[in-house]
């Protein structure tokens, strides 16, 4: 998972950003409509935990099923230059 750096230099977590968006959207629906409905309403802490689980599930599925994400991962993997001559296997045979 990659994190980006904001102009201020702090690291941004894409899962935390998505979880915040999910939390705000769900909170406005749940707590905004709660006055007119009787039933079980999630506590804010439970809603936050659910938001993070949903964000993590979304990012996991996005990496597995999104063709753009799959192509970007394949391009990044192909960009890594690997040559067997770069390996120093002689150090494996030396006793310490």
CA distance 93 to 96: 9
Domain residue ranges of the chain, discontinuous segments joined by + = 11-75
Pairing of strands 4-5, 11-12: antiparallel
pLDDT of residue 29: 87
Given this model, what pLDDT does residue 93 score? Answer: 73
pLDDT in tens, 60-83: 998 889 899 889 989 999 888 877
Residue 3 confidence (pLDDT): 53
Q: Report the 3 state secondary structure along 35-48.
A: CCCCCCCCCHHHHH
| pTM of this structure | 0.58
């Amino acid at each position: 998972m990659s994190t980006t750096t904001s102009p201020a230099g702090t690291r941004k977590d894409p899962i935390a950003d998505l979880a915040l968006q999910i939390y705000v959207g769900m909170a406005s629906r749940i707590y905004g409509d709660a006055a007119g409905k009787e039933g079980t309403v999630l506590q804010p802490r439970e809603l936050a935990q659910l938001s993070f689980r949903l964000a993590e599930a979304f990012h996991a599925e996005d990496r597995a099923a999104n063709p753009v994400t799959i192509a970007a991962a394949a391009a990044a993997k192909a960009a890594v230059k690997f040559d067997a001559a770069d390996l120093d296997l002689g150090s494996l045979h030396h006793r310490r």
